[in-house]
A = this chain, B = another copy of it.
Amino acid sequence: MIDRRSAIDHFADRLVAACKAKGSPVCVGIDPVWDRLPAAIREGRDARKARDVVAGFDLFVRGVLDAVAPHVPCVKFQSACFERYLWPGVESYHRLAEHALRLGLIVIGDAKRGDIGISAEHYAAGCLGDPSFSDIEGKRGPDALTINPYFGKDGVEPFVELAKKQGKGLFALVRTSNPGGDAIQSQMLANGRSVAEVVAQVVASLGESAVGKSGYSLLGAVVGATKPRDAQRLRELMPRQIFLVPGFGAQGGSADDVRACFKSDGAGAIITASRSVLFAYDKDTSRSWQSAVEAAAKKMKDEVAAIIGG
């Protein structure tokens, strides 16, 4: 069940290679929401039954993964969408992540976990996988996990240690793309740095011990696409972090906004779009929902390739 090669290779090297192989550093966000699923999938299911909704998610997400896998290197599962449906949702999340792994996709679990000490170890094992369980089949866990670094060093290290052992990766929240983030993350310290920049320094320092052949650390950073100036400063402070950049498309980030997240060689970031790809059939009604999703993924891939190529 365990893919020996993927268990040994460094996460950042695998991600860089996958972006090169697919021709564009993009990621499709898997954020399923019941009300927005195709009518054909909702039909005959009861939204008041968690297990009915989860069965609908299962059908929908498998269709999305099959449609985008030939085109993009990476997908990101929004854990909240599944956790909303309790333990049946959590089971579906892991089974769908496994399906994505089998399609050759790099899978990021967007669960934004954060705690200290043994609790952080528990989250790392629960979210990145624990191959020792003999009674849980088809659960390798995603390749990478988003984490919340507000606890500082001893909140991040347990995740880094497990990721090292398993050839997996992490993306620590540094700068978020929501308007309210400013009230904390943009505050200026007495030393002339913003709070986000201090977090960036902690992340850069913790990532040093886990740099792959590509020059990037297995510990990356989440940097919102709607703050191009911030991105540029953070790029300087975190030269070895791959930036996971949400906010492209539906959240308002434009192609130009994301350019600052890349290094001068056009590497070092992966751009995520969720709703604009996942629910593309809302606007593109001329074909099947699955074809609309595929077309939107290809369009986004080409747009991002053009930005970093030009």
Contacts and interface: CB of A to CB of B under 8 A. Distances in A.
Interface of A: 31, 33, 46, 48-52, 78, 80-81, 83-91, 94, 112-120, 122-123, 125-127, 130, 132-136, 139, 148-155, 173, 176, 178-185, 187-190, 195, 198-199, 202
Nearest to A141: B86
Contacts of A149: 184
A178 B118 contact: no
Copies, count: 2
Given A188-B189, A195-B195, A81 B122 contact: yes
A178 B190 contact: no
Contacts of A181: 150-152, 154-155
Contact of A176 (B49, B50, B151): B151
19 contacts: A49-B133, A52-B135, A80-B120, A83-B127, A84-B122, A86-B133, A87-B91, A87-B94, A89-B126, A112-B114, A112-B148, A116-B176, A116-B180, A150-B173, A152-B182, A153-B180, A155-B178, A184-B195, A184-B199
